[in-house]
Amino acid sequence: MHAKPTAYFGAICTLIFFAWLSPKMGHSQQSRQDQERWQASVEALANQAYGEAEIMLNAWILDFPYDEKAWFNLAVAFERQKKHQEAYQAFERVLQIKIDFPGIYRYLGLMALRLGRHEAATRHFKQAVEQEPHRFEPWFYLGSLYLESRQMDSCEWALQKALAINKGTPAVWLEMARLKRRTGNMQAAARMLAQARSHAPGYLTEFGHYFLEVNRLDSALVYFEKAFKQDPESPLHQLNYVAVLLQTGRHQEAEPLLDSLEQMPEYRLLAQMNRSAMCLAKNDAQKAQMTLAKVLKEKPEHPAAWLNLGLAYEQSFDLDSACICWQKAYKFAAPKAEQYLKTRCDLP
């Protein structure tokens, strides 16, 4: 699992914050009372009282509905409260009022990323590179999104544009390394990783994935462990670390991490699948079957769960049940399912 393209969102949001929160907002024609209201909303944002700022700005917008700067500041207040949908809608309102508002497509792209809307984010960042062709971030995020959608040529084009603007940002070298790794050019991936600074976000994780790809498990373990120790609360670091612990047979260390991950709804299935793999490696077929039953209860069409359940039944010397599971796995397009059916179930 790799770092997502939202890795630098916080830093860019800081730029948003300082872009339009100056007291001199161009409202000199308003009354003194209006100027004091505006100043109060600015101070609320500056003091991180985002809920208060939201209330003040909503009241302001009732009186001045076409004030694009007020809508922008309201979007910032929403984003700081993690109200991402509301922030996205407020940025859209800015665009409707002033189509050439500085950086607006970049901000929309960032919020679309936060909402997981990658198609919309890609569209916004395409517009952003036209609006701000000499700015690093739109090219970087566009390249990351192209990589996620496996548009490799477009990804390299966008990342090369980002590199032409700023070669000193570790994140772009990491994305280039991911690109080279995914296209099978491991030597180039190693060169790209060498360009990244060791303190860059995602550097340790990306090195871990690189060593996994070249089948150097001990080295991968070192980097995933370092990443985990830097941020032990990160579910992604826990998942990466536990996966390589399992691959290196360190089951006892993996147990508490799996317990933790199973408490998180968004990671529960992954944790249970890892636990089933651990049980199979320990020849604990009964526990593997119990774990996989939980997975299939929540997601009946999970191909890997059916595949592993077949392996668990095979360990229990119940080949008939194993073959039924592999038929299900084949139906849901699980890798190796056809191979198991042909070699172990004597099926054509």
Last residue of a domain, which of 132, 152, 187?
132
Sole residue written with tokens 């340790």? 204
> Percent of the chain scored above 90 by pLDDT?
50
Q: What is the pLDDT of residue 319?
A: 93
Last residue of a domain, which of 132, 158, 193?
132
User: What sign does the dihedral 49-51-55-60 (CA atoms) show?
Assistant: positive
Closest CA to 132 of 302, 15, 291: 15
Question: Residue 65 has which token pair?
Answer: 């509905």
**pLDDT tens column, 208-232:** 887 776 678 888 898 899 999 988 9
How many structural domains are present in the chain? 2
For residue 158, is it within any domain?
A: no
For residue 17, is it within any domain?
A: yes
For residue 207, is it within any domain?
A: no
For residue 167, is it within any domain?
A: no
Residue 317 has pLDDT above 90, yes or no: yes
Under the banding of pLDDT at 50, 70 and 90, the label for residue 236 is confident
For residue 292, is it within any domain?
A: yes
For residue 313, is it within any domain?
A: yes
Q: Give the integer Cα–Cα distance in Å for 164 and 185.
A: 22
CA distances from 102 to 92, 120, 235, 304 (A): 13, 19, 36, 47
Question: Residue 177 has which token pair?
Answer: 């390394």
Closest CA to 159 of 145, 264, 253: 145
Q: Give the integer Cα–Cα distance in Å for 296 and 309.
A: 10
Q: How many other β-carbons are positioned within 10 Å of the β-carbon of residue 113?
A: 23
CB neighbour class for 287 (10 Å; exposed up to 12, middle 13-18, buried from 19) = middle
**pLDDT tens column, 122-148:** 999 999 999 999 999 899 999 999 998
Q: What is the pLDDT of residue 302?
A: 92
Sole residue written with tokens 């990342």? 159
Last residue of a domain, which of 98, 132, 166?
132
Residue 14 has pLDDT above 50, yes or no: no
For residue 331, is it within any domain?
A: yes
Question: Residue 18 has which token pair?
Answer: 């300082």
Give the residue numbers spanning the domain of 307: 283-348
pTM metric for this prediction: 0.59
Query: How many helices (H) and strands (E) are present in the chain, helices listed first?
Result: 20, 0
Domain CATH number, residue 346 = 1.25.40.10
For residue 101, is it within any domain?
A: yes
Q: What is the pLDDT of residue 114?
A: 85
